[in-house]
């Protein structure tokens, strides 16, 4: 619900930007839009008072393929319902919230290591939902996704894993192009070998 609200709010703000009648109005609204949108992204270095951005970076779902949105929604619906029934709502919130923060922190650290820029950040991540699906698949692989539906919960991870592998491949390809464009290619053999693995 929070993710849907954040995404719809961003879409509404963008519509206001598109309805600008002059260049000055466009610049003003665009500056307001980027400032508000920055709250839902995590950039390096992350200050102590910006710790909440590690969670908010997963609320805004922009620029994603519909198939990935549907798979994440299915994970949250079926996997979340299963975990809530077996362990309670508090454990579900703790699992998703903690893994979201940890996955975003690790992703931001790795991204900064490869890119080295303080202006590039993370947004529209789904590490917490992937962790939820992995927990259900590993802990209760043969349980049905829903009572009376003969589909194992572990099958929910198949489209997510395919999507993540595709995203990782695209990230490495874009990373290589970015480093070539910025002239940072060849500065580190380890980074070059990983970035070139595509």
Residue 87: pLDDT band by 50, 70, 90 thresholds?
very high
pLDDT at 138 over 80: yes
What percent of the chain shows pLDDT beyond 70? 78
Q: How far apart are CA 21 and CA 23, in angstroms?
A: 7
Residue 190: half-sphere exposure toward Cβ, Cα within 13 Å: 2
Rounded-to-5 percentages of helix, strand, coil across the chain:
70, 5, 25
pLDDT at 194 over 70: no
Averaged confidence pLDDT in the chain: 76
What mean pLDDT is predicted for residues 90-94?
93
For residue 149, the surrounding DSSP H or E stretch is: strand 149-152
Cβ(192)–Cβ(185) below 8 Å: yes
What are 101-104's contacts with CB under 8 Å, separation 24+?
101/54, 101/55, 102/127, 103/127, 103/128, 103/130, 103/131, 104/42, 104/54, 104/55, 104/57, 104/58
Task: Please give the pLDDT value at position 168.
Answer: 79
Nearest Cα neighbor of 80 from 1, 4, 158 is 1
Q: How far apart are CA 30 and CA 33, in angstroms?
A: 5
Task: Please give the pLDDT value at position 195.
Answer: 37
pLDDT, tens digit, for every residue of 161-182? 777 787 778 778 877 887 787 7
Task: Please give the pLDDT value at position 191.
Answer: 42
């Amino acid at each position: 619900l929070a993710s849907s609200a954040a995404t719809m709010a961003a879409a509404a703000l963008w519509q206001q930007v598109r309805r600008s009648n002059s260049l000055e109005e466009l610049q003003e609204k665009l500056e307001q839009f980027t400032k508000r949108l920055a709250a839902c992204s995590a950039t390096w270095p992350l200050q102590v008072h910006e710790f909440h951005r590690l969670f908010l970076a997963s609320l805004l779902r922009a620029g994603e393929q519909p198939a990935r949105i549907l798979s994440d929604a299915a994970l949250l619906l079926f996997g979340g319902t299963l975990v809530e029934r077996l362990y309670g709502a508090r454990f579900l919130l703790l699992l998703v919230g903690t893994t979201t923060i940890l996955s975003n922190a690790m992703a931001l650290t790795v991204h900064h290591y490869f890119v080295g820029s303080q202006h590039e950040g993370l947004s529209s991540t789904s590490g917490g939902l992937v962790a939820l699906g992995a927990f259900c698949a590993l802990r209760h692989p043969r349980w049905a996704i829903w009572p009376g539906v003969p589909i194992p919960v572990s099958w929910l991870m198949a489209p997510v894993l395919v999507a993540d592998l595709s995203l990782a491949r695209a990230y490495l390809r874009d990373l290589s192009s970015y480093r070539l464009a910025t002239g940072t290619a060849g500065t580190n053999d380890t980074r070059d070998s990983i970035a070139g693995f595509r």
